[in-house]
Amino acid sequence: MHRSAPRLSRILACAAVPVMLVVAGCSSDSGDKKEPDSSESSASASASKKAEPTVEPAKFAALPDPCKSIAKKTVTSLVPSAKSKSGTAATSSDTSYRAGCSWNGLDDNGVKGSQYRWLDVGFTRFDSDQSLGSGAERARQDFDKQVAKAKVAEGAKKIAEAPVSGIGEQATKITYDLSKTKEDFKYATIVARTENVVVTLTYNGAGYAGAKTPSATDILKGAEKAAKEAVAAVAGTESDKPSGSTAPSEKATDKEDSPKSSDKDSSDGKSTNRKTSANKSSVKKTS
């Protein structure tokens, strides 16, 4: 019995060895499983980020100078006696997103009466936003809002709406009659969208003191011409200038603003000065 005791101890010790190895093996396996789980979760997170749809970037990052978006020649034609040929800029907290300009004047024809004209252009630009959508899509939504707004002018009569081709990617014309200051006005509004920018242009007129009321056709024709120029001015902002620049486009100006025209104007001025000097000298000789 005494001899069997040491033998029993050796047996128990040997039996303990495989138990420890098993425990160590389980511990090692557990560590191996954590590493692949961690990498798989990070790969899954990365894949989910890539799967998120991204909105297309907005095409235009700036707006043109609204008061230069319509050629001076056109303004003179539509508003002959404008109070300010340069236009009156609309108040805006950020002209890179919202800007406008207007011209108005009364062309007095004496006993034949007077003609009043008013022209207004407004620009609204939208950036692309991951949560709100692309700039173009946001502009489409605003386009619909501006059309709806133009159709509910207070006191408007004979309201008509129709699509217009050749002005931006989409355009709608809204025409109506409106009586105010005891005169009959003819109105035409053109709402157009070019990529992520919405252009809203309104032109109206009336005859005063017995003058004939302008025709709806002439008013609409003038509005469409000015709207085309305004949309072209927006396209002119996409150039090699740094993104976000709000500098007006040179394309938005007309021939009267070109260097050649300026040289011509200055030469005409010199010619006039020479004639004036000649007249003064002749007057001195006569006296």
Phi first, then psi, for residue 75 (nearest 5°) are -60, -45
| 121 contacts 230 by C-beta, under 8 angstroms | yes
Average pLDDT over residues 257-280: 38
Spell out the SS3 assignment of 127-172: CCECCCECHHHHHHHHHHHHHHHHCCCCCCEEEEEEECCCCCCEEE
Decide which of 50 and 119 is more confident. Answer: 119
pLDDT of 274 over the 60 cut: no
Average pLDDT estimate for 164-172? 97
Predicted confidence (pLDDT) per residue in 61-79, tens digit: 999 999 999 999 999 999 9
Is residue 263 over pLDDT 50?
no
Beta strand 88-89 with 114-125: parallel, antiparallel or unpaired?
unpaired
Task: Give residues with Cβ within 8 angstroms of 251, minimum separation 6.
Answer: 232, 233, 235, 236
Query: Measured between alpha carbons, how far is 131 from 148 in angstroms, rounded to an integer?
Result: 25
The token duo for 45 is 């997170």
Question: Where along the chain do its domains lie?
Answer: 66-261
pLDDT of residue 229: 98
* Model confidence at 162: pLDDT above 90: yes
pLDDT the model gives residue 74: 98
Give the residue from 148, 152, 172, 90 showing the smallest Cα distance to 124.
90
Q: How confident is the model at residue 254 (pLDDT cuts 50, 70, 90)?
A: very low
Query: Cα–Cα distance between 186 and 215 in angstroms, integer?
Result: 7
Taking a C-beta distance cutoff of 8 angstroms, is the pair 125, 197 a contact? yes
Amino acid at 89: A
Helix (H, G, I), strand (E, B) or coil at 286: helix
More confident residue, 39 or 150: 150
Is residue 133 exposed (0-12), middle (13-18) or buried (19+ Cβ within 10 Å)?
A: middle
- Which pLDDT score is estimated for 196? 98
Is pLDDT of 5 > 90? no
What percent of the chain lies above the pLDDT cut of 70? Answer: 65
Higher local confidence (pLDDT), 97 or 35: 97
Give 90-115 pLDDT, tens digit per residue: 999 999 999 999 999 999 988 889 99
pLDDT at 179: 94
Say if residues 80 and 107 touch (Cβ distance below 8 Å): yes
Question: With 50 as the cut, is the pLDDT of residue 250 above it?
Answer: no
81: pLDDT strictly greater than 90: yes
Q: Is residue 231 predicted with pLDDT exceeding 70?
A: yes
Report the distance separating Cα 46 and Cα 80, nearest Å. 63
| Residue 221, SS3 per DSSP | helix
Residue 238: the pLDDT is: 83
The residue-averaged pLDDT of 135-139 equals 98
C-alpha distance from residue 178 to each of 48, 155, 205 (Å) = 57, 6, 10
Beta-strand relationship, 98-108 and 114-125: antiparallel
d(CA 74, CA 221): 12
- Ranges of beta strands (E only) in the chain are 88-89, 98-108, 114-125, 157-163, 170-180, 183-194, 197-208
